[in-house]
Each structure stands twice: as structure tokens, then as C-alpha cells.
């Protein structure tokens, strides 16, 4: 008799096609997690993050399990996220222990593949660098993203210097001999790496240098010279350290909320991320699900308006959303000086380095430095929002990713005057 070795489920990453009950359970689970898996919050107990529905790579040491059947009997392989090859092989050996030798041998290979597949769901790709407007348009249409040149060698050197100056400024503010690495760690959001705690960063020399360099790219993209810019900030993805072993990462999400109406349906904003250092499997960083921008409406309808903050445009996307079934998750390998453009509707996430690395002591190192820039036609912004932006500029406030529509203003210097001005205090 032919032995039957069937992998029946892999941690919710596999969805039984057409199985309504399991689909409903998965949806319920995903919705439940929406209450706490926004940008994954380090205040949470690790066990909660381990059950997150939208992190692409679970933090180290989360318990993982894979159910399978041999000749009608249910068994499980158990391992921990981050386990190396030897540990995975041992886990599989444990799971098939007690089976006749030939059955165990036959079962081991597909099980190892399934376990490795569940862990290494992220592929890498070095996309071509596009220059031609039609090619960029086509890539944005088909894949939902495109990589373009942003900074020549001189502009990159200047940007690097401005980034270092920004960090030096943080060291000076600390005033007690703090190292640049520690100053950066203090300035960076511990989850996303966004430098929201750095002084005047959204309107500092680095961000305006970058905005000036890429403005013409966005003007060509929209075929409109009169564009407005987001007041975004840079980010530094920092290595996990022995004091701070939680790797920086964000769950799968989109940057446009279909539920907010026409203004966020269709291609209404294209996000830009300029790399100040290379992004590759050693650094981790932006992972995209190519083509998923076309599923924006379907995902939004399936999960409802999960962005709880008023006016927010980001919506978490569970990694086992049926719309994403069979679509690869791709870490884009991009050189410094280039810019990744993506349709705001594209599902994407930030992942830690794909290869395990030892934990440094102290404040660790910068794995990837980048900055976000987004520009859209000014005619799409209301007069009131243009006025608000003007105030935001003078108060040195940051916005999120949308230049012409954004109800989120982040204080990057002090919010006291701004709160007073708007009557919020």
C-alpha cells in the first residue's frame, strides 16, 4: 500500500481551499489580532506577538507547529522560529520517531520542506532599475512597485553626511558622551526604526535635500509640476542587541485605506523610500507582495476598516489573507542611492535580516538607513489642508505618507505650540 504522508496545516499559513469553517476561523483570528498587531508593539508579551497574524517572520523562539498525518494518524512537528537547519532536522526526526524506518524516511523530506517553507516565506529579488517613464508606469501597474535612481554619488555622499550630522546632533543633545549608535537607538522608534524622536528631522537639511532631489521624478509620475510633498522622516533599522533582542519589523499592511472613500481608491499616492545604505538579506527591510495592489478592495472588504485611528490610512493585512495565497513575499535588494516606489495599495512589511545574526552588545549597528518621500498633485489637497501643512512646516511637524490627505501630524520638535494653536491642549 502506498503510504500517505499529508501535511494538513502549517500555522495558518496554509488555508484549506473552500473550507468555509476554517476560513471563518482564520478571519476571526485575524480580526482579533488587529486589536494588537498594528505596528507590533514591544510592550506586548512575546507570546502574543508569536500569534500575530500579520508579521511575516515571527520573532525568535516562538513555538511553531505543523500537523501532519501518516496513514490516518495525526502527528506534529514542533520547533521554534529562528531554529537552524540542525534543530529543524532534529524536530522532524522527533516527529517521525517510532514509525517504521521506511515510513519515517519517506515522511522526513516533505516535512522538512514544509517546515523550512513555513519559516522562509520571504524570497529575495534585485529588481531592474528603471529610467524610462513608460517602464516605471508599467511596473507600477503590473507589480505595484518600481526601483529608480534617486541620488548620484555626490548627492548620496551629501545625504550620508547629513544623516551623520543628524545623529551627531542627537549625541550633542544627550550631552553625556553618548555614542552615535546609542543616540540613534534613542531617536528611533523601537519597532519601525522611524526617527520620530530626532529633533526637527522632518524639516531638517537631510529630508529637504532628498525631497529636492526626487521632486522631478514625482512631477513626471503625475505629469504635473505642481506637487506637494509629505513631511515624512528617515528611518534606521537597527540590529537586535543582547539588551534589546526584539528585532525591528512591521506586520503586513497597505498604505491606503479603501474605506476612506474615493480619495484612497485607485492609484492615489505612490510612496517613495530612498535608500541611504543598501537593502539586502543581511539588512532586512522592505518586503512586498507583487501585484497585491490589485487586491486592495477585496482585502479591505473582507477585513473591514481595521485602521482604528481616525483618519489613518494604514490597514493591517493578515499574512494568510486569501487574496495573497500563492503570491510570493519578496525582499527587494536595492543599492544605496536608489528609490523604491510603491503603489500605496500594495501589501508590504518590514522584516528583520533573513540570515540569523549574533546579538551585539551595546547599542548595535544600523542595518539599513532610508528616508520616505511622497509627492502628489497639489490640486488634490483641500485649501484647509494646504493651510494646515503651512503651519506644520512652521512648527516643524511631520506628517505620514500622504501629502495631500493626512490627518496625522507628528510633533518632531515640540507639540506644545501646535496643540495650543489647534486648541488640542
Please give the residue ranges that form the binding site for ligand AKG (CB under 6 A).
Answer: 235, 250, 255, 273, 285-286, 348, 350, 370, 372
Closest CB to ligand AKG among 7 and 228?
A: 228
Residue carrying C-alpha cell 532599475: 129
The answer to whether 325 and 15 are in contact (CB under 8 A) is yes
Helix axes 296-303, 20-34, angle to 10 degrees: 80
Nearer to ligand AKG, 107 or 248 (CB): 248
From the CB of 101, what's the least distance to ligand AKG, in Å?
47
Residues with Cβ within 8 Å of 150's Cβ and at least 6 positions away in sequence, in order, are: 210, 213, 214, 217, 272, 274, 337, 338, 339
Angle at 287 between CA 47 and CA 373, to 5 degrees: 115
What minimum distance in Å lies between the beta carbon of 214 and ligand AKG? Answer: 15
Q: Minimum Å distance from CB 296 to ligand AKG?
A: 14
Measured from the CB atom, the residue of 136 and 332 that comes closer to ligand AKG is 332
- Nearest to ligand AKG of 5, 354 (CB atom): 354
- In terms of CB distance, is 136 or 350 closer to ligand AKG? 350
CB of 107 to ligand AKG, least distance (A): 39
Q: Taking CB positions, which residue lies at the least distance from ligand AKG?
A: 286
CB nearer ligand AKG, residue 7 or residue 147: 147
Residue with cell 489642508: 385
Between 26 and 194, CB nearer to ligand AKG: 194
- Give the nearer residue to ligand AKG in terms of CB position, either 75 or 329: 329
Kindly state the cell numbers that stand for 66: 505543523
Least distance in Å: CB of 370 to ligand AKG? 6
CB of 115 to ligand AKG, least distance (A): 27
CB of 286 to ligand AKG, least distance (A): 3
Least Å distance, CB 361 to ligand AKG, is 26
Looking at the Cβ atoms of 64 and 368, the one nearer to ligand AKG is 368
Judged by beta carbon, residue 60 or residue 251, the one nearer ligand AKG is: 251
Amino acid at each position: 500500500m502506498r503510504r500517505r504522508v499529508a501535511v494538513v496545516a502549517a500555522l495558518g499559513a496554509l488555508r484549506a481551499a473552500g473550507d468555509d469553517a476554517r476560513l471563518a476561523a482564520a478571519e476571526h483570528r485575524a480580526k482579533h489580532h488587529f486589536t494588537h498587531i498594528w505596528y507590533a508593539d514591544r510592550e506586548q508579551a512575546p507570546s502574543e506577538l508569536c500569534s500575530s497574524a500579520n508579521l511575516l517572520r515571527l520573532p525568535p523562539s516562538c513555538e511553531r507547529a505543523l500537523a501532519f498525518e501518516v496513514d490516518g494518524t495525526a502527528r506534529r512537528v514542533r520547533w521554534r522560529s529562528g531554529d537552524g537547519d540542525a534543530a529543524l532536522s532534529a524536530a522532524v526526526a522527533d516527529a517521525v520517531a517510532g514509525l517504521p524506518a521506511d515510513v519515517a524516511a519517506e515522511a522526513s523530506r516533505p516535512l522538512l520542506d514544509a517546515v523550512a517553507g513555513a519559516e522562509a516565506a520571504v524570497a529575495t529579488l534585485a529588481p531592474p532599475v528603471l529610467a524610462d517613464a513608460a517602464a516605471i508606469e508599467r511596473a507600477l501597474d503590473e507589480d505595484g512597485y518600481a526601483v529608480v535612481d534617486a541620488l548620484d554619488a555626490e548627492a548620496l555622499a551629501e545625504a550620508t553626511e547629513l544623516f551623520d550630522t543628524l545623529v551627531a546632533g542627537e549625541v550633542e543633545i544627550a550631552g553625556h558622551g553618548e555614542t552615535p549608535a546609542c543616540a540613534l537607538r534613542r531617536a528611533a522608534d523601537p519597532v519601525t526604526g522611524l526617527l520620530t524622536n530626532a529633533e526637527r528631522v522632518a524639516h531638517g537639511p537631510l529630508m529637504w535635500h532628498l525631497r529636492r532631489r526626487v521632486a522631478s521624478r514625482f512631477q513626471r509620475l503625475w505629469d504635473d509640476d505642481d506637487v506637494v510633498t509629505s513631511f515624512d522622516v528617515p528611518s534606521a533599522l537597527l540590529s537586535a542587541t543582547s539588551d534589546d533582542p526584539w528585532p525591528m519589523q512591521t506586520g503586513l499592511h497597505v498604505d491606503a485605506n479603501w474605506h476612506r472613500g474615493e480619495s484612497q481608491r485607485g492609484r492615489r499616492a505612490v510612496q517613495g523610500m530612498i535608500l541611504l545604505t543598501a537593502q539586502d538579506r543581511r539588512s532586512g527591510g522592505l518586503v512586498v507582495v507583487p501585484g497585491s495592489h490589485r487586491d486592495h478592495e477585496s482585502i479591505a472588504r473582507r477585513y473591514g476598516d481595521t485602521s482604528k485611528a481616525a483618519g489613518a490610512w494604514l490597514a493591517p493585512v493578515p499574512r494568510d489573507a486569501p487574496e495573497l495565497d500563492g503570491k510570493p513575499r519578496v525582499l527587494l535588494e536595492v543599492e544605496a542611492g536608489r528609490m523604491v516606489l510603491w503603489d500605496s495599495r500594495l501589501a508590504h512589511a518590514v522584516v528583520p535580516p533573513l540570515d540569523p545574526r549574533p546579538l551585539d552588545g551595546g547599542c548595535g549597528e544600523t542595518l539599513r538607513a532610508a528616508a520616505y518621500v511622497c509627492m502628489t498633485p497639489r490640486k488634490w489637497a483641500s485649501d484647509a489642508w494646504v493651510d494646515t501643512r503651512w503651519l506644520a512646516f512652521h512648527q516643524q511637524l511631520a506628517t505620514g505618507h500622504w501629502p495631500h490627505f493626512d490627518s496625522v501630524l507628528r510633533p518632531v520638535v515640540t507639540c506644545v505650540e501646535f496643540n495650543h494653536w489647534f486648541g488640542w491642549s
